Structure 1
Amino acid sequence: MKESYCVVLTTTNCEENKQALVSGILSNQLAACIQTMPIESHYMWQGKVCNDIEILLVIKTTTDCYQELENLIVKIHNYEVPQVVQLPFSEGYNPYLAWLDENTRR
């Protein structure tokens, strides 16, 4: 069974890029909701162990919007290789899922 909905995760390291991502995604109706929170990330980059204070964006959308959403994130993002991860789901509270459908382009 194909999941109809997903959560997409991305991170950024600056407030301006966060605002550009949020505005671009919502104004293009590619998500119904975006939650943001500060996080500390630890990762490997170009052979080095790194850590940064970042902002996590938790984006609620439909799987039909995913490819266009990914393209927009990559276009707007300030990172050379941004995190864009899709976590599909098939079930949830029906009124919430209806709200997701109403607020995204399908």
Structure 2
Amino acid sequence: MVMVYTTFPDWESARRIVRALLEKRLIACANLREHEAHYWWEGKIEEDREVGALLKTKIDNWKAVKQFLKENHPYSTPAIIRIDVDRVNDEYLKWLLDVTG
């Protein structure tokens, strides 16, 4: 299992992309949370609101999820961060593997 972390500029784009990933069975689920972001962009410090997404999937889907995000993400330079999960309860992992095929 892996989790993929990314952020979106708004709820609409986050929901649209998460829904597409779910429909393609590339992810089993996603958690979305709005947060305040502080970051460097084009030589200055920016502050904004973003929607953070934690996408849960099997390791075999990592490349496809990453590619889908690169092709469909509204940001020109999105964060697409893979977090390897080395421990997860058996029941959850079974469910995740079942729904992602």
Fold agreement, TM-score > 0.5 = yes
- The residue identity in structure 1 corresponding to 2:25 is Q
1:12 to 1, 5, 8: 8
Structure 1 residue 58 and structure 2 residue 16: aligned?
Answer: no
Q: Are the equivalent residues in 2 in contact too, given 1:6–1:86 (CA < 8 A)?
A: yes
Displacement of 1:75 after TM fit? 1.3
Partner SS state of residue 95, structure 1: helix
Number of aligned residues? 101
Displacement of 1:82 after TM fit? 0.7
Q: Are the equivalent residues in 2 in contact too, given 1:20–1:76 (CA < 8 A)?
A: no
Deviation digits for residues 44-91 of structure 1 (CA, Å, limit 9, x no counterpart): 111111111000011111111011001111111110001100000122
Deviation digits for residues 7-52 of structure 1 (CA, Å, limit 9, x no counterpart): 1001001222112211111011011110101111111111111111
Unaligned runs of 5+ in 1: none
Partner SS state of residue 8, structure 1: strand
Q: Compute the TM-score of the two structures, normalised by the length of structure 2.
A: 0.95
Question: Percent of pairs identical after alignment?
Answer: 28
- The residue identity in structure 2 corresponding to 1:60 is K
- The residue identity in structure 2 corresponding to 1:76 is N
Structure 1 residue 36 and structure 2 residue 32: aligned?
Answer: yes
Unaligned runs of 5+ in 2: none
Q: What residue is the counterpart of 2:20 in the other structure?
A: 24
Distance 2:98 2:79 in 1: 27
The ranges of structure 1 where at least 4 consecutive aligned residues each deviate by more than 2 angstroms after the TM superposition are: none
Distance 2:32 2:11 in 1: 11
Partner SS state of residue 29, structure 1: coil
- The residue identity in structure 1 corresponding to 2:11 is E
Coordinate RMSD, CA, aligned: 0.9
